[in-house]
Amino acid sequence: MSAVAIADLSRDLARLEESVRARASELLESQQVRMVIGHKRAWNGPLAVAHFAVSPKEARKFAAGPHCTGGLAKYLLEEREKDGVVAVIARGCDALGVRRLLIDRRVDAEKVLVLGVPCAGCLDPAKLAEALGVTPAELVEVTLAAGALRVRLAGQEQAAAGPPLDKVLPPTCMACEVRMPVEVAEMLGGDLAALTALAGRPPAIDLETAEAEVTRLEELSADDRYAYWAGHFQRCLRCFACRNACPACNCRVCALDSYDPKWLGHPTEIPEQFMFHFIRAVDVAGRCVACGECERACPVGLPLMQLNRKFSKDIRTLFGVDRPHLPGEHEPLGKFEPDDPEEFM
Amino acid sequence: MDATRITGASLGAARIPSGPLDKLAAAAARVAGDGALVFGPARDGSVWGWKLCEAADVPQSDLWERLVNTDVSPKELFMPRTEDIARWRDRLRNLSIAEPAAPPPVVVLGVRPCDAASFDLLDEVLIEGPFSDESYRRRRGATLLITWACGKTGPACACDAFGLAPAAAAGDLMVYPDGNELLLSALTPKGLEVLGDLTGGSTAGEALTGRVDAVAAALNAQKTAVGRRLALDDLTANAAGLTATLFSSDIWTELSPRCLSCGTCTYVCPTCYCFAINDEPRGGDGRRIRTWDSCQFKEFLSMAGGHNPRPSKVERVRQRFMHKLNYHPERYGKFLCVGCGRCIVSCPVGLHVAEVGEALSRAAAAAVSAAKGGE
């Protein structure tokens, strides 16, 4: 990508933000939708939070850009019983999340309008803080100018130049193959040459590299692998943030909440922690959309995407499907077919 | 607000050099009792929590210059994430029931003043109320709390918005950074014993307690970034009179949609104390255990028969913040929040006590001025 195009990126993001506000406003004004779900500036800190606009006035608060982290698709589950259409401002991962809910028949297609936005990746505050030698809480404001971040830290009046955005993305965004969202009703922002060019670049981490970490864990001895995961799982608070943030975790009744039968014991001790995380990971195997929300939501930094990637690698090995979460791909575990070759069926 | 929560009263003081704290830890362990365990802040993966320290790995004092606070609160040292209430064995109907052994004495080295104050709040509910929580009471009684005053505040800190301050006096023994030295000030007889053990019984002169007061006052004068934005006085004044208005305020439908209904805020919070009791049978044997529970979980209030009095996030989010900012102040005269800032940092969707507190305070001010206008 040329230097000129990078310089245009912040202008594109400003245009995109204006386009999101205008389109949301229009849809609400004309009552084509009853709610638009997107992001808005947070009370504090650099990251945006989910925003639910039901009036044109509230639509003016919408934001777009690399600070708009946090998945939006899952919120549709809570709107499913209500009448009327809900629009979602969808990055690629959000659009795949919505698609997940549609395939799983948890949301009616007639009640959802997916408004796509191209995405340059969403910043990882931990990585940004590390690059600047501060703690994530010290990041007050982050903006994108000419392809590099400008960061204002706690106690500072002025923002200073930070690292380039692509150096502070979470691994999930670095491996993202859907920066241009798929299966959307319309794309917002119009002609955004710089952003589109950036979003169209191949991912910085390809499938093979992403799986190298899984291979490393597979090659450990059983005892070492147990020690690795026990070390992580003993931190787990059992807060269910990973499950609740996940668009593929959309069961009507979750096995992890079930008392009868009781699949999961209540102690937060190592055997139950393994059971908890394996149930979660196995239940989304083949349906995970690789949005990384589980890992992002976790308050104690569990590397949950490693488990998800292990299962996606297994699916590739066993069924020959690389990306079961993408349109046009065969879903080996998420779909029933009468002519399933599995003989015991 | 009650100023004694900040100033405290020193029973005696001492001065030690900064650096290794193994002598202080050892003295505290001796005072705490035989077999005392010492816990200190420790990093685990990407997260700061609390770990058992062997004598050799007691942290040095510079840790508290670098670390604003741990990501996980020290409450699990008093309310373990999982604890036995009883275990039973049924060797073919020869039933025997065993209660857990008494908890060992514990020294907690270097909790921040906000966290130390959280235990005072919990004590009022779990020990001093009409019901005494036996397990919590035993653990609290066996603990010696060394509190480390904050030389600087973090960006998510909010102690001053909740009636506390960066060096609010709480716990058994306060540690104040003072140049290259540490000032120790005993707040309880246990804390005084530690000073005695450490200094060989020499009592501190008045000059030193004067210095403690001066250092504490300087540290307490720090204002936090969040505290500068938050004025919550409207919430404590006339808390009882505001309950119905705040309960039916629109802010709950405005703020709750983004909540994920996970338990992160309640589990990182030093003042949330809800728990669940479950039986975990295994064959004829089993255990009755207590684990943390969260009012934000959908199933938290599900009743036998299927009724759920808090079916949606509006009711659940309202419950958590009304409890902290209205019900508790109404009953105990103070917020059930110490402004540690953990929910501000950890909530995956940025829904925390500062934003909700501001919105609720605005609703309270509007209600008060509407009432005045109607007079």
B282 and B263 within one domain: yes
Average pLDDT, chain B: 93
Number of domains in chain B: 2
Q: Are residues A217 and A193 in the same domain?
A: no
Strand order of the β-sheet with A139-145 is A139-145, A148-153, A160-164
pLDDT digits (tens, 9 = 90+) for B289-341: 999 999 999 999 999 898 999 999 999 999 999 999 999 999 999 999 999 99
Please report the pLDDT score of residue A4 as a whole number: 45
Residue A49 contacts B where some CB pair is shorter than 8 Å: yes
CA angle B203, B205, B210 (to 5 degrees): 130
- pLDDT score recorded for residue B319: 98
Q: Is residue B227 part of a domain?
A: no
Whether residue A299 has a cis bond before it, omega within 30° of 0? no
B361-366 mean pLDDT: 93
Domain-ending residue, one of B175, B197, B222 = B222
Q: Is residue A47 in a domain?
A: yes
Q: Are residues B187 and B44 in the same domain?
A: yes
Residues A9 and A79 in one domain: yes
Of B180, B201, B222, which closes a domain?
A: B222
Tens-digit pLDDT string for chain A (345 aa) = 444 456 678 889 999 999 999 999 999 999 999 999 999 999 988 899 999 999 999 999 999 999 999 999 999 999 999 999 999 999 999 999 999 999 999 999 999 999 999 998 999 988 998 899 888 878 888 888 777 788 998 888 888 988 888 889 999 999 999 999 999 999 999 888 888 888 888 888 988 888 899 999 999 999 999 999 999 999 999 999 999 999 999 999 899 988 888 889 999 999 999 999 999 999 999 899 999 999 999 999 999 999 999 999 999 998 888 888 888 888 887 677 777 776 654
pTM equals: 0.94
Which pLDDT does position A60 carry in this prediction?
Answer: 97
Cβ-defined contact of B268 to A47 (cutoff 8 Å): no
**Torsions phi, psi for A336 (to 5 deg):** -100, 135
Verify that A167 and A239 share a domain, yes or no. Answer: no
* pLDDT, position A198: 84
Confidence (pLDDT) at A1: 45
Please give, rounded to a whole number of angstroms, the shortest distance from the CA of B44 to a CA of chain A. 8
**A266, B278 contact by CB (below 8 A):** yes
pLDDT per residue as tens digits for the range B252-294: 999 999 999 999 999 999 999 999 999 999 888 999 999 999 9
Q: Quick check: is A335 in a domain?
A: no
pLDDT bracket for residue B234 (50, 70, 90): confident
In a domain, A337, yes or no: no
Q: Which residues in chain A are closer than 8 Å to B266, comparing Cβ atoms? A: 239
Same domain, A274 and A134: no
> What type of residue is A173?
C
Looking up tokens 């058992």 gives: B52
Quote the pLDDT of residue A246. Answer: 97
Residue A318, helix vs strand vs coil: helix
- Asked if residue B144 and residue B76 are part of one domain, the reply reads yes
Determine the number of helices (DSSP H) and then strands (DSSP E) in chain B. Answer: 16, 11
d(CA A177, CA A278): 26
Q: Tell me, yes or no, whether B170 and B279 share the same domain.
A: no
pLDDT of residue B142: 96
Which residues lie closer than 8 Å to A65 by C-beta, 6 or more apart? A13, A16, A17, A48, A143, A144
B175 and B283 in one domain?
no
d(CA B14, CA A343): 79
Q: Does the beta carbon of A67 lie under 8 angstroms from any beta carbon of chain B?
A: no
Contact by Cβ (8 Å): B339, B315: no
Q: Do residues B370 and B319 share a domain?
A: yes
**Residues A63 and A116 grouped into a single domain:** yes
Minimal CA separation from B261 to chain A, in Å: 7
**Among B29-38, B350-359, B363-372, which stretch is predicted with the lowest mean pLDDT?**
B363-372
- A108, A250: one domain: no
Pick among A74, A76, A89, A240 to test the B interface (most B CBs inside 10 A): A240
Q: Kindly state the tokens that stand for A252.
A: 């009507």
Residue at A336 is within a domain? no
Instruction: Judge whether A222 lies within some domain.
Output: yes
Which of B80-94, B201-215, B253-267: highest mean pLDDT?
B253-267
A217, A191: one domain: no
Q: Is residue B51 part of a domain?
A: yes
Instruction: Based on the fold, state whether residues B175 and B270 are members of the same structural domain.
Output: no
Sort out which chain A residues have CB atoms less than 8 A from B156's CB and list them: 44, 137
Q: Are residues B248 and B172 in the same domain?
A: no
Residues B44 and B167 in one domain: yes
Q: Which of A183, A185, A180, A182 is nearest to A27 (CA)?
A: A185
Q: Where does a domain end: A146, A167, A199?
A: A199
Instruction: Give residue A157's pLDDT.
Output: 87
Same domain for A42 and A140? yes
* Residue at B162 is within a domain: yes
Q: How far is B204 from chain A (nearest CA, A)?
A: 38
Clarify whether residues A109 and A192 are in a common domain: yes
Identify the band that residue B203 occupies on the pLDDT scale cut at 50, 70 and 90: low
Could you list the residue range(s) of the whole structural domain that residue B349 is in? 233-374
* Count of the separate structural domains present in chain A: 2
Q: Is A325 domain-assigned?
A: no
Q: Flag whether pLDDT at B1 surpasses 60.
A: no
Q: Is residue A343 assigned to a domain?
A: no
Same domain? For A121 and A89 the reply is yes
* pLDDT over threshold 80, residue B32: yes
Same domain, B133 and B184: yes
Same domain, A193 and A226: no
Helix (H, G, I), strand (E, B) or coil at A181: coil
Residues B217 and B237 in one domain: no
Reported ipTM = 0.93
Kindly give, in sequence order, each residue whose CB lies less than 8 Å from that of residue A335, ignoring residues fewer than 6 positions away.
A103
Closest of A95, A103, A83, A99 to residue A37, by C-alpha: A95
B228 domain-assigned = no
Give the end of a domain, one of B195, B222, B249: B222
Q: DSSP letters of A204-226?
A: SS-HHHHHHHHHHHHTS-HHHHH
The answer to whether residues B120 and B196 belong to one domain is: yes
Query: Does residue A71 share a domain with residue A157?
Result: yes
Chain centroid to CA B78:
10
Q: Does residue B174 lie in a domain region?
A: yes
CB interface of B with A, residues 327-356, below 8 Å: 341, 344-346, 348-352, 354-355
Query: Which residues span the domain enclosing A285?
Result: 207-319
Assess contact for A118 and A209: CB atoms under 8 A.
Answer: no
Per the CB < 8 Å rule, is A299 touching B354? no
